[in-house]
Structure formats: structure tokens, C-alpha cells
């Protein structure tokens, strides 16, 4: 497995993702957020990458955290939850960070209600991974690291 140069990645979880594992398992799968984070942490360790995690149900707290960490991370893995479809502020914070980000979703947002098809993040994202439950985060991390290595444009 490729070792990446020392990197730090911010992992952002938006509203209601604290309930994953309990909440609508038919969409979001059986794993809890700590389970998913542990899997990401293991993959990151293999790659020599440090992860910093943050979950909030509050848009402003997410914006504050992204602003705070924008100079000490190399990129972001973001599941903005419902804010994906509504939040100009979150989009602006990620764009202002000037760091690449991958948008991830546990469920396949394209196979659900129409309002979930619209993302305010995707056109600025390095890529989008949707529908693989907890694996979406691990795949998103891999995609981001590949982007940071310059393997993907």
C-alpha cells in the first residue's frame, strides 16, 4: 500500500449523522459514526495520514470548525447531511479553505427524493461518493489522497 507524505485530512459530518447506526438503517447502514471513523482511521494509518473529525448539528459550528482548521489540513472528506442540499455558507467555507474536498454520502442520494439530487457542494468537489454506506467515507478518503498525490485531476 502506498504511503503518502505526511498529510492531515479533516472529516466533517453534518446534522443527524450522530444518529447513524440507529437512524434509517435501510438508507444509512448498520454502522455507527465511531465505527466508520475507526475504519477510516485504520486506513489513514496505513497511509501515514492523520485524520481530524468533527460532527455538528449546527451549520455555524461546522463553518467555524472549517475556518479554524483550514490552514492545518490538506483536504476534506465531507458528509454535510441535509446541509448538502441547502447550505451556501458551508459551500463558501469549504471553497474559502482553498483545500480540495470530496463529498460523501452513505445513501445513494440520486436514488431518493428529488430534493436530494441537488447538491450545493458537488460542482466544487474533487469528487462525489454516494451509496456505499460506511465505505463511501473510506473510498472518499482514498479519492482525496489520490487527488493530493496528483494521480487525479
Closer residue to ligand DQA in complex, CB, 84/87: 84
Contact between 111 and 131 (Cβ < 8 Å): yes
Task: Name which of 7 and 56 has its Cβ closer to ligand DQA.
Answer: 56
Q: Determine if 146 is a binding residue for ligand DQA (CB under 6 A).
A: no
The mark string for 8-47 relative to ligand DQA (x by CB under 6 A, - otherwise) is --------x-------------------------------
CA dihedral 120, 124, 92, 8 (to 10 degrees): 120
Of positions 55, 78, 107, 137, contacts ligand DQA by CB under 6 A: 107
- Contact assessment for residue 69 and residue 79, using Cβ atoms and an 8 Å cutoff: no
- Grid cell at residue 73: 489540513
Mutual orientation of helices 134-149 and 33-47 as an angle, nearest 10°?
Answer: 30
How far apart (Å, rounded) are the C-alpha atoms in residues 131 and 77?
A: 15
State which residue has the least CB distance to ligand DQA. 81
Instruction: List residues with catalytic annotation.
Output: 28, 105
Q: Point out which residues bind ligand DQA (CB under 6 A).
A: 16, 79, 81-82, 84, 105-107, 109, 116
Amino acid at each position: 500500500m502506498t504511503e503518502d507524505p505526511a498529510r492531515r485530512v479533516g472529516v466533517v459530518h453534518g446534522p443527524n449523522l450522530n444518529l447513524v447506526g440507529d437512524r434509517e438503517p435501510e438508507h444509512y447502514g448498520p454502522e455507527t459514526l465511531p465505527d466508520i471513523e475507526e475504519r477510516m482511521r485504520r486506513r489513514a494509518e496505513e497511509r501515514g495520514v492523520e485524520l481530524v473529525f468533527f460532527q455538528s448539528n449546527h451549520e455555524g459550528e461546522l463553518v467555524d470548525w472549517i475556518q479554524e482548521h483550514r490552514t492545518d489540513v490538506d483536504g476534506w472528506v465531507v458528509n454535510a447531511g441535509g446541509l448538502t442540499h441547502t447550505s451556501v455558507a458551508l459551500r463558501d467555507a469549504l471553497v474559502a479553505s482553498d483545500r480540495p474536498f470530496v463529498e460523501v454520502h452513505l445513501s445513494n442520494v440520486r436514488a431518493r427524493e428529488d430534493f436530494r439530487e441537488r447538491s450545493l457542494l458537488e460542482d466544487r468537489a474533487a469528487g462525489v461518493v454516494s451509496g456505499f454506506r460506511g465505505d463511501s467515507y473510506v473510498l472518499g478518503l482514498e479519492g482525496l489522497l489520490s487527488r493530493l498525490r496528483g494521480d487525479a485531476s
